[in-house]
Each structure stands twice: as structure tokens, then as C-alpha cells.
Amino acid sequence: MREPDFTLSAGPVAASPRVLAALGSPLVYHYDPVFLQRFRDTAEKLKRVFLTGNDVLLLQGEAVLGLESAARGLVQPGTKVLNLVQGVFGKGMGFWLRDFGAELHELEVPYNDAVDPAAVAAFLDANPGIELVTVVHSETPSGTFCDVAAIGAIAHAHGALTLVDCVSSLGGMPLRTDEWQLDVCVAGAQKCLGGPPGMTLMTVSEAAWERIRANPAAPRASYLSLLDWKEQWLDGDKFPFTPSVAELHGVEAAVDELLEKGLEHSIERHARAAAACRAGVKAMGLELWPRSEKIAAACVTAIAVPEGLTDVQVQAHCRERYGVMISGGQGAGNLVRIGHMGISARSLHPVVGLAAVGRTLLDLGVRVDLGAGLEAALAELSGTAAEVA
Ligand SMILES: *Cc1c(COP(=O)(O)O)cnc(C)c1O
């Protein structure tokens, strides 16, 4: 099959020409002064995206590496953890936590809903001694998000640390690490930052470091060790192992591109693309997957697949007939997702996604008002045309 014409997936997303050029820049020795400077600068710049004064780590593996490392570092047999589950990634975190010996408590809601912070407060009131709350900010497979601002404060007030999966939200949705009192935040570069998919970007608070240091089960001398990075790199200027030089170049370019226009601009751009996409879905006569638009994330728009069809069929037709790559439900349900992250949250990309999904459904025998959908999305975008790019 030929290359896709448009990648409007749930990530990895298409990268900008600048990121691609950076990925192709010379591969230098990792202790070359130029690379050391770049590595440090990139971490500093990321503090302005995470809005934190905490340590920032750049690990050489996709964000799952950061999530697993953080869970392993924070948990030992018997650690009391409250895991919030509103989708596939939250559920997956629970499997890890149990595996690492945690005394696991879960608050779970259907995968088209969001965990209510009031329920978290009530649970923590009723179950004193919870040491860690784990939460996914943007549940990408179902296109929902939860109120991490409130949950961070609630956890903190109950003496619990927080581990936040913000893999898909960083740079595209408001996330204020320090103000929201978040201890460990784990992100990826390949979602709203529009970077390559091979690095974990994460923040670790002083309180989290204390917990990890005091944990005899925390990995050391391991690919999964955060302590190695703290002791050898942050405190010792030596890499625990060779970082991925090309990936770092790509991440730095993506962060530079974001910061030049500013974090707020990036967040607004994602919000607008998402609003246009949702308006289009509704005007076409389709149903959004999230129970309410109030909990719809700005990263992807999840659309319920009409009865009689499957997400796999819709996705395949879109790609084969129109060269547009969208995402399926990834186990969250019978839904397809139009991603609007990084450069796909610019310009008329949401309209392309809607056109591809709408026309695909018509081709497959579903009656949708394609014209009304595209008009609605364009109206949303053109209201602020100067800002769309
Ligand atoms: C993309 C993503 C991850 C990383 O997981 P992959 O399956 O490797 O893509 C983790 N959490 C969330 C919420 C994500 O969107």
C-alpha cells in the first residue's frame, strides 16, 4: 500500500518539516559538548511546557517506559494505591500496580465517562492511608479527560502522591504540574508536541524522589531505574546508558516550535481543532463517544461507529480509499478517532478527517449529512481563521 496522504491518528502523529529536518541532523557522540548542552536545554525548555520547577527526565523509550519506571519506583509490596480507571490506559496501570505488589484500590467508570473528583475525595476520606493516586489525564483510546487539577489537590490534601499519565495531553491541554500539585507526570513527544515516538518526557517532584529513594523495590542499575537517572545524570553528569541522539534532536525541535508561539497558543489551537471536529460530527448526524462534550479531550475526537459496522472496517476503508489514517477504538469500544495533535491540529486537518470519515460511512451505507458536517466544522474554524495555523 502507498504511504498515507494524511496521518490523523491518535499518535504517533505527522511531524513538521522542522522536526523531520532535526531528526536528520548529524548524529554526534553523546558526550560531545554540543549534545550535552542540547540534552540539558531540552529538559529546561520542557519545564516551561510542564509548568514545573521539578526535575525533568528524558528517557530513551516511548512513554510506556516512563509509566512503568514510575510505577516500579513508587510501589513496593503492600503500597496502598488508588488507581482511577476511565479507559484502557488506566486499566493497564492497574495490572502493573498489582504485579508490583501494590494493595490496589480502583475507582472505575464506563469508558465513555470521567472519574468524578468528588468520588476520589470520598474514597480517600473513607480509606485513610492511600499513599499514591494514579490517574490518566487524557484517555486517548476513548477521547475523554478527567479533572486532574482537582484530583491533584485532593490527593495532596490526603497525603497521597500522584502519578499522572499525561502522555497525550502535554502541550495540547492545560496541565499545570506545580500548581496542580502533581508529583510524577509522564508524557510522550509523539502526541500534541508533534515529535518522534521514542522518548519519555517526565517530571519528578522532591516528595516522589524521597519515596523512590526509600523504596527497597525501586529498580537500580536497570533500564527501568529512575534513580540511575537522578544519581548518575542529574547529580553526576553521566548518562546511565547512551541516549538516543536523533530522537533528542527531534524532541528539541518540537519543543522549540511549540514554545516559539507559546504554550497557550498551542493549547488554543488544539481546543479549536477539537471543537471544529465535534461540531462536524454532530452536524453530520453522528454521535460523539464521550457521554458529554464537557469531558471530551482536545487530543482526539472519538466517534461512535454506527450499528452494523466496526471500527476496523471504517478505519480500513478510510485508509485504503482515501489515504487518510485515523485510529480505531484500541479496546475502548466500537469507535473511531480523528486525531488532532501537533500539526494535525492546524489548518483544515479536522475538515479532512471529517470528510474522510463521513464519506467512508456513506460508502458503507450509513446516511450522514456530510455537507452539514463540513460546513459546521469550517464555521467553527473560520470564526477565528487568523489563529487556525
Ligand atoms: C499514547 C499513550 C500512551 C503510550 O502508549 P502506546 O500504547 O505505546 O502508544 C500512554 N498513555 C496514553 C494516555 C497515551 O495516549
Place of cell 523504596: 215
pLDDT values of the chain reduced to their tens digit, one per residue, 389 residues: 899 999 999 999 999 999 999 999 999 999 999 999 999 999 999 999 999 999 999 999 999 999 999 999 999 999 999 999 999 999 999 999 999 999 999 999 999 999 999 999 999 999 999 999 999 999 999 999 999 999 999 999 999 999 999 999 999 999 999 999 999 999 999 999 999 999 999 999 999 999 999 999 999 999 999 999 999 999 999 999 999 999 999 999 999 999 999 999 999 999 999 999 999 999 999 999 999 999 999 999 999 999 999 999 999 999 999 999 999 999 999 999 999 999 999 999 999 999 999 999 999 999 999 999 999 999 999 976 445 56
Q: Where are the domains of the chain?
A: 6-12+262-388, 17-259
Atom of ligand 1 nearest to the CA of 137: 13
Distance 64 CA to ligand 1 centre (A): 7
Q: Rounded to the nearest whole angstrom, what is the distance from the C-alpha of residue 373 to the centroid of ligand 1? A: 29
Which helix (H) or strand (E) element contains residue 85?
strand 80-85
Give the pLDDT of residue 359.
98
Determine the distance separating the centroid of ligand 1 and the alpha carbon of 57, expressed in angstroms.
Answer: 18
Alpha carbon distance 101, 113 (integer Å): 28
Query: Pocket around ligand 1: residues whose beta carbon is below 6 Å from it?
Result: 11, 62-64, 89, 136, 138, 140, 165, 167-168, 188
Task: Tell me which of 3.90.1150.10, 3.40.605.10, 3.40.50.150, 3.10.300.10 is the CATH number of domain 6-12+262-388.
Answer: 3.90.1150.10
pLDDT at 221: 97
Task: Tell me which of 136, 142, 148, 167 to substitute to probe ligand 1's pocket, judged by most ligand atoms within 8 Å of the beta carbon.
Answer: 167
Closest among 357, 356, 347 to 378, alpha carbons compared? 347
17-259 is classed in which CATH architecture?
3-Layer(aba) Sandwich (3.40)
* CA 190 to ligand 1: nearest atom: 1
Give the ligand 1 atom nearest the CA of 166: 13
Centre of ligand 1 from the C-alpha of residue 330, in Å: 11
Query: What pLDDT shows up at residue 389?
Result: 60
Atom index in ligand 1 nearest the CA of residue 67 equals 10
CB-based contacts of 112: which residues, under 8 Å, 6+ apart?
142, 144, 289, 290, 291, 333
